[in-house]
Structures are given as structure tokens and as C-alpha cells.
A and B are shown apart, each in its own frame.
Chain A
Amino acid sequence: DSGVTQTPKHLITATGQRVTLRCSPRSGDLSVYWYQQSLDQGLQFLIQYYNGEERAKGNILERFSAQQFPDLHSELNLSSLELGDSALYFCASSAGLAGGAYNEQFFGPGTRLTVL
């Protein structure tokens, strides 16, 4: 158990809908990351938050947004869903902001999103 929790585990929805994925980081970790794992794109970094502020952005679609709350949990919002958004969405957390010793990212179990 990595200490990172994600809800829900599975989500099935229809095209055009909006969903929210939730992540609670490990106790004490200030950084939260979101990744998408799909068959055709592999594992891709979406976005990073550190202590409530956005710090880095990857290949995140404009239809997607995220935020990190004062209690450090994070939510990833996906809107106007398309079939191609079906994927496993991982949240990860680390103690600090940037790469370095003791700053490994620990991953949650993921949320499997299916868009029908």
C-alpha cells in the first residue's frame, strides 16, 4: 500500500459527460501528480500541483482541469468526455517539489475510466 488513495476505482460514463476523480496524497506529501495510462499513448504526465499551486503541465487537454485543495487532496475534472478518454488515471504524490533524494513518486491504485 503506497499510502495514496484514489476514488472511485472504476467509473463508467457516456460521451459528453463530466467526471471528477479524487486523490489523497501520502501523509506529509505536498506534491501531487496526475498521469494517464492508455493503450495507444502509454503512461503520460498530465499535471503537477505543489502545496495548492500548479507547478508543471504536460499533455493535458483543455477539457481537463485539476486543483489541489488546502488539505492537499486533489481532483482531476474531465469534461465533454470522448471515447478516447477511456484510460487508467493515476495520481502520485511526493514529499517535495522537484527531483532529488527522497522525492520518489508513490502512485495510487488508479481510477479506470470507461467512456461509452
Chain B
Amino acid sequence: AQKVTQAQTEISVVEKEDVTLDCVYETRDTTYYLFWYKQPPSGELVFLIRRNSFDEQNEISGRYSWNFQKSTSSFNFTITASQVVDSAVYFCALSEGQAAGNKLTFGGGTRVLVKP
């Protein structure tokens, strides 16, 4: 069965500091997809990034970057130069290959508080 673990329940930083969120996943599939979603205080879930299991290239998108390592089953997410608007709960999620459909298994979430 698939499982996603976010060990950090809450992180508090001062504006402009970098924040790295940890995510560890378990799956038996060789083809799977990893996601990060953001849930601001308003409650909606906002899609941030997606990564395929066969592409370990790490990327940067604006102030967001991610580090995907299959060897350690980790998919960490970094916010560079954090801003107050980044305050939210961040969820890591996993979906397996086509045979398993596209359901998302979420981690428990990490609450990020960015103080001015």
C-alpha cells in the first residue's frame, strides 16, 4: 500500500528565510507521481508541482524548488526567500500508475508560518 509521511508538523520562520519541507513516500509501483499542494488559511487546495518517478531531475520554478531522490524515496520541497503569503499547510501526495487509478494519497501536512 502506498504511504506518504511528512515528519514535520509545523515550521516557523522569519520572512526571507528558506524553508525546506520533507516528504518520504512508500510505494510498490515503479511508475508513480509525486505532488505538492498548498492549503492557505482560506482552505482551498492549490496544486504546486508534479514529478514523475522516471524523471529525477530537480528543478526550480520561481521561489520553489524540489529535490526528488528515488534511492531514499524522498521528495523534498523548498521555498526560497519565504514571504508572509507562503504561510499555509503544505501537503505532499502520491499517485500510482494507471492500474491503480489516479487517487492521491496525502501526507499529514506541514504547517508553515512565516513571520514578518
| B-binding residues in A (CB < 8 A) | 2, 31, 33, 35, 42-45, 48, 55-56, 58, 88, 90, 92, 94, 96-101, 103-110, 112
Contact = CB atoms under 8 A, between A and B. Distances in A.
A48 B43 contact: no
Contacts of A96: 102
Interface string B78-116: 000000000000010001111111111110110000000
A42 B103 contact: no
Nearest to A43: B106
Interface string B22-50: 00000000011101010000011111001
A98 B98 contact: yes
The DSSP consensus for interface residues of chain A is strand
B91 A43 contact: yes
B97 A99 contact: yes
B8 interface: no
B106 A48 contact: no
A35 B109 CA distance: 15
Given A99-B98, A109-B43, A110-B44, A104 B50 contact: yes
Nearest to A112: B43
B58 interface: no
Given A42-B109, A43-B91, A43-B106, A98 B45 contact: no
Interface residues of B, number: 27
Nearest to A96: B102
Nearest to B93: A43
A97 B103 contact: no
B59 to A, nearest CB: 15
28 contacts: A2-B47, A31-B102, A33-B103, A33-B104, A42-B106, A42-B108, A42-B109, A43-B91, A43-B109, A45-B103, A48-B102, A56-B101, A56-B102, A58-B103, A92-B104, A97-B98, A98-B97, A98-B100, A99-B32, A99-B96, A99-B97, A99-B98, A105-B47, A106-B47, A107-B47, A109-B43, A110-B45, A112-B43
A100 B106 contact: no
B12 interface: no
